Amino acid sequence: MRLQTKTTLFYSLTTLMIVVTIIVVSMFSFRQFSIKSAKQNSQTVAEMVRLSLTEAMINGVIDKRESYLHRLTQIEGLLNIRVIRSDHVRKQFGQGMENEEVKSTMESKVLQSGEALFELDDNGMEPVMYSIIPFIATDEGSPNCLQCHQVEVGTVLGAITIKTSIAQLKEDALTTIGIISSIVGFFAIVTIFFFRRLFKPLVETAESVQKVVKQARDGKFDAKLKAQTNDEIGQIAEDMNHLMDHLNTGLSRISNNVSQLIEFAPKANTNLLANTIGMVENLVDAAHFKQSIEEDESKAEVYQRLSRILQEEFHVRQYSIYEVTTGKNRIHPIMVDGNVEASCKWCSQQIIIRADACRAKRTGHIIDSIENPHICNAFISGEENYQHICLPIIQSGTVGSVVQIVVDKGEAKHFQELVPFLTPYLREASPVIEAKRLMDTLRESNLRDAMTGLHNRRFLEEYMETLVANNDRNKTTLSVLMLDLDYFKKVNDTYGHDAGDKVLKELAKTLTASVRNSDLVIRYGGEEFVIILQNTGDGYGDKVGEKIRAAVEQLKVQVATTIIQKTISIGVADFPTDSETFWQAIKFADVALYQAKEKGRNQVVHFSPEMWSDNEY
Instruction: Give the full edge-to-edge strand order of the sheet including 128-136.
Output: 78-85, 156-165, 128-136, 117-121
Among candidates 552, 381, 549, 570, which has minimal Cα distance to 482? 570
Q: Is the confidence at residue 615, as pLDDT, over 70?
A: no
Predicted confidence at residue 328, as pLDDT, reads 66
Confidence of residue 197 (pLDDT cuts 50, 70, 90): confident
Strands 78-85 and 528-536: unpaired
Predicted confidence at residue 508, as pLDDT, reads 92
Confidence of residue 617 (pLDDT cuts 50, 70, 90): very low
CATH fold of 3-171 reads Beta-Lactamase (3.30.450)
Pick the most confident of 141-150, 205-214, 424-433, 592-601: 592-601
Q: Is the confidence at residue 346, as pLDDT, over 90?
A: no
CATH of 296-446, one of 3.30.450.40, 3.40.190.290, 3.30.70.380, 3.40.640.10: 3.30.450.40
Predicted confidence at residue 353, as pLDDT, reads 84
Confidence of residue 452 (pLDDT cuts 50, 70, 90): confident
Q: How do residues 353-394 score in pLDDT, each as one tens digit? A: 888 889 999 999 999 988 888 888 888 866 567 889 999 999
Predicted confidence at residue 444, as pLDDT, reads 61
Euclidean distance between the first and the last CA atom of the chain, given in angstroms as a whole number? 97
Q: Is the confidence at residue 529, as pLDDT, over 90?
A: yes
Confidence of residue 259 (pLDDT cuts 50, 70, 90): confident
Q: Is the confidence at residue 269, as pLDDT, over 60?
A: yes
Secondary-structure breakdown of the chain: helix, strand, coil percentages, each rounded to the nearest 5:
55, 20, 25
Alpha helices in 221-321 (DSSP H): 232-262, 272-294, 299-308
382-389: long-range contacts, CB 8 A cutoff, minimum separation 24: 385/409, 386/318, 386/346, 387/412, 388/346, 389/415, 389/416, 389/419
For residue 605, give the 3-state DSSP assignment. strand
Q: Is the confidence at residue 267, as pLDDT, over 70?
A: no
Angle, helix 540-554 to helix 497-514, in steps of 10 degrees: 140
Predicted confidence at residue 599, as pLDDT, reads 92
What does the H/E/C string look like for 293-332? Answer: HHCCCCHHHHHHHHHHHHHHHCCCCEEEEEEEECCCCEEE
Predicted confidence at residue 253, as pLDDT, reads 82
Overall average pLDDT of the 569-579 stretch: 92
Confidence of residue 574 (pLDDT cuts 50, 70, 90): very high
CB atoms within 10 A of CB 433: 21
Q: Where are the domains of the chain?
A: 3-171, 296-446, 455-611
> Taking the C-alpha atoms of 324, 330, 334 and 336 in order, what is their torsion angle to the nearest 10 degrees?
110
Helix (H) or strand (E) holding 387: strand 386-395
Q: How do residues 387-418 score in pLDDT, each as one tens digit? A: 899 999 998 888 989 999 998 888 888 888 88
Give dist(CA 135, CA 588) in Å, integer.
152
CB atoms within 10 A of CB 167: 14
For residues 97-114, b (16+ Cβ closer than 10 Å) or e, as one string?
A: eeebebeeebbeebbeeb
Confidence of residue 514 (pLDDT cuts 50, 70, 90): very high
Q: How do residues 159-182 score in pLDDT, each as one tens digit? A: 888 888 877 777 777 788 788 888
Pick the most confident of 91-100, 210-219, 474-483: 474-483
C-alpha dist (Å) from residue 381 to 102, 347, 354, 357: 125, 7, 19, 16
Overall average pLDDT of the 333-350 stretch: 82
Q: Is the confidence at residue 616, as pLDDT, over 50?
A: no
Predicted confidence at residue 275, as pLDDT, reads 76
Same fold? 3-171, 296-446 = yes
Overall average pLDDT of the 292-309 stretch: 88
For residue 115, give the 3-state DSSP assignment. coil
Q: How do residues 113-160 score in pLDDT, each as one tens digit? A: 888 888 888 776 788 888 888 888 887 877 777 777 778 888 888 888
pTM above 0.75, yes or no: no
Overall average pLDDT of the 239-257 stretch: 79
Among candidates 402, 418, 423, 411, which has minimal Cα distance to 344? 402
Confidence of residue 548 (pLDDT cuts 50, 70, 90): very high
Among candidates 358, 340, 361, which has minimal Cα distance to 348? 358
Overall average pLDDT of the 444-463 stretch: 80
Overall average pLDDT of the 51-80 stretch: 75
Pick the most confident of 284-288, 323-327, 605-609: 605-609
Q: Is the confidence at residue 3, as pLDDT, over 80?
A: no
Confidence of residue 263 (pLDDT cuts 50, 70, 90): low
- Residues of the chain with pLDDT > 70, as a percent, come to 94
Confidence of residue 93 (pLDDT cuts 50, 70, 90): confident
CATH fold of 455-611 reads Alpha-Beta Plaits (3.30.70)
Predicted confidence at residue 532, as pLDDT, reads 92
User: Hey, what amino acid is at 163?
Assistant: K
Predicted confidence at residue 441, as pLDDT, reads 64
Predicted confidence at residue 212, as pLDDT, reads 77
Give dist(CA 369, CA 34) in Å, integer.
100
